[in-house]
Structure 1
Amino acid sequence: MSTLVKHFAGPSYLNGFFGKDLFNEYNTPAFAGTVPAVNVVENEEGFRIEVAAPGLQKSDFKLNLEKNQLTISAEKEQKEENKNEKYTRKEFKYTSFQRTFTLPNTIDGDRIEANYADGILSIALPKREEAKEKPARLIDIA
């Protein structure tokens, strides 16, 4: 396998990684939710999920791993207030999303790491050592 990062394309056992992508989206006057774009990339060491979420802060995110389910969620409350001589107008806007991914059994859940920079939440999902592809080797015959 090349050391170049390749985009997630296909073997059937990996389709479950995307197949369980669940999300909730609500649209009410007090709540506007959208689901951000997500990239999933695989390399020799594991997978990386990149979530495009500009305008949020690191503290707005919550990551939860339960069994093989990784849930990525965020919630942000924005308040806007206009004061005039005769009235005060307040508006509240809540933005949130949630996505859940079923991870393959090859992921080492204890070593998952995440960071948020420049509007991108990046989650590293390292493979277990036994799941990494081993280079070909010559076996001596005794």
Structure 2
Amino acid sequence: MKLIKDREFLRSIANQINLFNTIGGGISETYVDIKKYKKGAVIQVWAAGVNPEAFKVVLQNNQLTIFSLLQNQNSADLTVPMFTQVFLLPPQVDISRIEAVYEEGQLHVKLPYHDAAIRPKEIEIKQL
């Protein structure tokens, strides 16, 4: 039986095995909660052991994607998605005012409603 003598290769493969082992069971499941309020909604994401820098929030049209990436400490080229969730936003959400805040171990994505969705606006009827 031949032994692998290239130490750099062994370190590289060991780091990858460690990374995939972590993905397989070393990190707890992500918890997502959506709270609705009169003036908007908040998506709360909690993931144990995930750094705030690992979270990403992407808005495209009316689709909001929240995900986190696990990056290998020794190789910036090796990243693995840990969590991905896609939300279709309703028309009452003012997408220009969406903001994401990380506080106390949770990611909060605030989805404010348009003013017209909060209080009705009477439209004047013009006579021609």
Shorter-chain TM band: 0.5 to 0.7
The equivalent position to 1:47 in structure 2, one of 28, 35, 41, is 41
Tell me the residue number matched to 1:132.
Answer: 118
Q: Secondary structure at the match of 1:107?
A: coil
Q: CA deviation at 1:131?
A: 0.6
Measured after TM superposition, the shift of residue 51 of structure 1 is 0.6
Query: Is contact 2:41–2:110 with CA below 8 Å preserved after alignment?
Result: yes
TM-score (normalised: structure 2): 0.64
Deviation at 1:126, TM superposition (A): 0.1
1:110 is paired with a residue of what secondary structure? helix
Q: Which consecutive segments of 4 or more residues in structure 1 shift more than 6 A?
A: none
The aligned runs of 1:90-109 (5 Å cut-off) are 94=80, 96-109=82-95
- Cα distance in 1 for partners of 2:61, 2:29 equals 23
For structure 1, the 5+ residue unaligned runs are 1-28, 81-91, 135-142
Query: Which protein has the bigger strand share?
Result: 1
Which of the pair has more CA radius of gyration? 2
Question: Per-residue deviation at 1:95?
Answer: 5.8
The residue aligned with 2:13 is none
The unaligned stretches of length 5 or more in structure 2 are: 1-18, 121-128
Q: Which residue of 1 aligns with 2:15?
A: none
- The RMSD of aligned alpha carbons is 2.6
- Aligned residues: percent identity? 32
SS at match of 1:30: helix
- Distance in 2 (CA, whole Å) between partners of 1:38 and 1:94 is 20
Contact 1:115 1:122 in 2 (8 A): yes
User: In 1, distance between residues paired with 2:29 and 2:48?
Assistant: 12
Q: Does 1:30 align with 2:24?
A: no
What is the total number of aligned residue pairs between the two structures? 95
Structure richer in helix, relative to its length = 2
Q: How many Å separate the matches in 2 of 1:121 and 1:127?
A: 19
Q: Counterpart in 1 of 2:65?
A: 71
Question: How far 1:35 sits from its partner (Å)?
Answer: 5.1
Q: Partners of 1:93 and 1:107 in 2: how far apart?
A: 32
User: 1:69-119 CA deviation, whole Å, 9 max, x = no partner?
Assistant: 000010123559xxxxxxxxxxx9956111000010100011001111222
Closer/same/farther in 2, CA of residues 56 and 129 from structure 1, 3 Å limit:
same
Residue 49 (structure 1) shift: 0.5
